Amino acid sequence: MKKVLEVRNLKTHFFTDKGVVKAVDGVNFDLYEGKTLGIVGESGCGKSITSMSILKLIDKNGNIVDGSIMYGDKDIVKLPVEEMRKIRGNEISMIFQEPMTSLNPVFRIGDQIIESIKLHQDLSKQEAHDKAVNMLKLVGIPRAERVVYDYPHQLSGGMRQRAMIAMALACDPKVLIADEPTTALDVTIQAQILSLMNDLKEKTNTAIMLITHDLGVVAQMADDVIVMYSGKVVESAEVKELYGNPKHPYTQGLLDSIPDLKSEKKRLNSIEGVVPNPMELPKGCYFAPRCKFAMDKCWQEEPGVYFIDKEKNGETHQVKCFLYEDK
């Protein structure tokens, strides 16, 4: 398996009048060709900022203060703006959460895809137009020859999302980042979009980074999973291992909160408490205030990263919790 992205000790902080927000605080993971990495966690845990850091689309008051993002032999963190523009939208593309905020409402769908193609590929206007039509067909849009002349408001939510995927894939990216790609869609269209992404991964061998809070989607799509909490990775494993043998109390809480159709319980399980204020983070383990297994040292020290069943899993199953310190 070829590694296409290697993220090490990534720290992205935002500097405000009230203090420093450590949105991403020491994140590590690898992304492999033809594989899907799921990133899960509650809102505000740093999932989207991690993806924006890879694309270097951080707001002006934010900054990558430490770490590296290796794409081949290039460290994205150190790349100048012009070099990054050649990669962004070309070799690394993104499907955003809400297509109506990502597609320009005053330009036709085809023109927006053509602009992306012409920016990165040496094609004539007619060749770019033909490729835009073919991309719309590839993502399952009927009457693509007509839709290419439509404006975003003339398409349904599912069609707009397909158009976004067509735009993201137009330049044959090696890495596709999908940030909550199905949140605004009904379940039927959601299933179609996920099936489409899987098919495209099989055909193009693209590496996919799937950011979501939907654990059902992760089970269906991902090969590997990392669980984030308050800007840190608290557990990572292959998808079957994580779902069958969750170790971190937060991961266990997330999985327990999934509705079980066979259960006679009327109330859903939940994780007590709330995510800590990023400018008032507790000392020690950030999950300690919500953890029923918290020990004295959890309130004083940050846990290290420990391997689970190393003989069976190698170093693929990692957990950041003192419960596994001596195992």
pLDDT in tens, 37-85: 999 998 889 999 999 999 999 988 999 999 999 998 999 999 999 999 8
Q: What is the model's pLDDT at position 116?
A: 87
Under 8 Å between Cβ of 8 and 37: no
> What average pLDDT does range 169-192 have in this prediction?
82
How crowded is residue 120: how many other Cβ atoms within 10 Å of its Cβ?
19
- First-to-last C-alpha distance (Å) of the chain: 30
pLDDT at 271 over 90: no
**Is the model more confident about 70 or about 280?**
70
Q: What is the model's pLDDT at position 74?
A: 93
pLDDT tens by residue, 90-138? 899 988 877 667 788 999 999 999 998 988 888 898 999 999 999 898 8
Report in angstroms the alpha-carbon separations of 1 from 32, 85, 266. 6, 27, 45
Who contacts 18 (Cβ-Cβ below 8 Å, separation ≥6)? Answer: 279
**Would you place residue 327 in the very low, low, confident or very high pLDDT band (cuts 50, 70, 90)?**
low
Who contacts 295 (Cβ-Cβ below 8 Å, separation ≥6)? Answer: 322
Who contacts 279 (Cβ-Cβ below 8 Å, separation ≥6)? Answer: 16, 18, 19, 20, 21
Q: What is the model's pLDDT at position 268?
A: 74
**Would you place residue 197 in the very low, low, confident or very high pLDDT band (cuts 50, 70, 90)?**
confident
pLDDT at 157 over 70: yes
Q: What is the model's pLDDT at position 100?
A: 67
**Rounded Cα gap, residues 249 and 257, in angstroms:** 12
**Sequence-ordered alpha helix ranges (H) in 205-300:** 215-221, 239-244, 249-256
Q: What is the model's pLDDT at position 265?
A: 67
Closest by Cα among 178, 197, 157 to 48: 178
> What average pLDDT does range 234-242 have in this prediction?
96
> What average pLDDT does range 197-210 have in this prediction?
87
Q: Where do the domains of the chain lie?
A: 103-172, 251-324
Amino acid at 289: P
